[in-house]
Each structure stands twice: as structure tokens, then as C-alpha cells.
Amino acid sequence: MLFFKKKEKVNFSFMDIGLTADVHSHILPGVDDGSPDAEESVAILEALHERGVRKVIFTPHVSRSMFPNKADDLKVRFTEFVAGLPESLRSDMRFHLASEYMVDEFFAADGDRLCWPDGKHILIEMSYYERSREIRDTIFNLQMDGFQPVLAHPERYVFYQKVVNKKHGVAELDDFVNAGCALQLNVMSLTGAYGEPSMAIVRWLLDHDMYSFIGTDVHSRRQIDHFSGFQITSAQMDKVRQLARQNETIFG
């Protein structure tokens, strides 16, 4: 008889997650460091479709210094891109345009806000290497404005990887969740590709039910082939599947 101990790591793959709705992706071509052209974007969408994904939120980076995308421009590009997709994808998938906003000194002033399809959740990020000084005020102010902030991939920030404690995790992430900020896990992070400190954050956040959503954060077709061999336990995988179900609620 097969018997898996709850704490034993099992090799899971992308399909095991049951991800049908992706809330974080860089598929809209030519607007950030994600897909460079429509051909690559179609290849990404086909690969996601083959793996069971039916709803996709495009979340191009928006930051005044690196990717100064304007909401109106992104809307035009999005409409054109979706209209040009092969019928096989267009008829079987749903697409939505949002953004991934860099929290910096310009964020508060740049008023355009492209949210997830519920019109409430807004994806924010920081530099991997430098904590945003404005992050706490941003989380507070967005909620005051009626939004629900979602911090992208907390496990990827190097300044949290440096301070993660196996037992107590990362104090500031605890604060964020208590302050009403949702956290979004990256699929790729489950593979251990970002190192043990990142995995320590993943395990701690999963074990304490602190993530709310999961996203591919896909930037290229090739990346999808590396979404496998997840270094987590069966109990943690159950929680990841729960996140995938939670993603669906965003589409109503």
C-alpha cells in the first residue's frame, strides 16, 4: 500500500495545481520584459491552454523608471492583440488587462489603476533588491481608495530572504497580511529555483495560510517547461490547489 507521510516532499508538476485562472502574466507583447512579440505570446497562451488554463490576466509591469506604460496605451494594445489571436484560443479562453505596479515614489501620483476583473484587486511589486520605502503607506492608501492590494511574489524579495526565520517567517509580511494586503505566490518559486531562503518563505507562508493567490508570472514560452518538480509536501500542495481555486473567484 502506498503511504505518503504528510511531511514528505513529493514531486509535483504544474498540472497538479489545477490552475485554470492565471492572475499574473507578462504575455501582452512588447510592453515590458515579458513576451517580445505576438508569436511568442501565442506560444505562451497555447502552452497554458494545453495545461488547462482558460482565463488569463495580463499584468504588464508599470513603473515610471523602467516601464512607463500608460493605461490607455495598454488598453489599445490589449484590444488589438486579443482581436488578432487565433480563433481556437479566443473562443476557449477569457482575457483581462490589469497591471503589475512598481511601488516607488511616483506610484501615488500616477493615477491610472488597472485592476483584476473584480475591479478591486490591484497587483503591486517592489524591486527584488530594495524594499520600497512607500510600501506601508501604499498598502494603507490603496485600501482607503477602495482597492485590495496584492503583493506579488513575496518569496522573491532578497531583503526578506535575508531575514526569514524558519519558525517565525518574515515579520513584515505578517504585518502586511494583518494590514489587509493579499499575497500572491509564483508557480516558479515552488521549484526551489530561487534558492533555499526563498523556499523557506514559501513554506512558511503556505503553512500559515498567508497566500491568497497563485500566478505564473510567465515571461516566456520556455519558462513554462520549468514549472515542475515542486519541492513541497502533499499538505502544502493541497494549499496550493486551494489558491488556484481562489484565483477563480476573481473572475466572478
- Stretch touching Fe ion by CB under 5 A, among 92-100, 103-111, 139-147, 220-228: 92-100
What is the secondary structure of 81-118 as a DSSP string? HHHTS-HHHHTT-EEEE--EEE-STTTTT-------TT
Q: How far is the CB of 218 from Fe ion (least distance, A)?
A: 9
Closest approach of Cβ 49 to Fe ion, in Å?
A: 20
Per CB under 5 A, the list member of 22, 32, 40, 100 interacting with Fe ion is 100
CA 149/CA 182 separation, integer angstroms: 6
Q: Which stretch binds Fe ion (CB under 5 A): 14-22, 70-78, 100-108, 162-170?
A: 100-108
Q: Which residues pair with 61 in a beta bridge?
A: 100
Torsion sign over Cα 85, 90, 95, 97: positive
Q: Which residue has the cell 510592453?
A: 31
Tell me, residue by residue from 220 to 239, as one string, x for binding to Fe ion by CB under 5 A and - for no binding.
--------------------
DSSP states along 22-55: E--B--STTSSSS--SHHHHHHHHHHHHHTT--E
At closest approach, how far in Å is the CB of 193 from Fe ion? 15
* DSSP class of 13: E
Nearer to Fe ion, 117 or 215 (CB): 215
Judged by CB under 5 A, the number of residues near Fe ion is 2
Residue spans of alpha helices (H) in the chain: 14-17, 38-50, 71-83, 87-90, 135-144, 158-161, 171-178, 196-207, 221-224, 234-249
Question: Which lies closer to Fe ion via its Cβ, residue 22 or residue 100?
Answer: 100
Q: Which is nearer to Fe ion, 155 or 217 (CB)?
A: 217
Q: Which of residues 141-200 bind Fe ion (CB under 5 A)?
A: none
Least CB distance to Fe ion at residue 244 (A): 18
Report the alpha-carbon distance of residue 176 to residue 85 in Å, rounded: 39
User: In this complex, which beta carbon is closest to Fe ion, that of residue 211 or of residue 233?
Assistant: 211
Residue 102 or 200 with smaller CB distance to Fe ion: 102
CB of 32: closest distance to Fe ion in angstroms?
8
Residue 217 makes contact with Fe ion by CB under 5 A = yes
Cell of 189: 518559486
Only one of the segments 6-14, 156-164, 177-185, 212-220 lies at the binding site for Fe ion (rule: CB under 5 A); that segment is: 212-220
Site residues for Fe ion per CB under 5 A: 100, 217
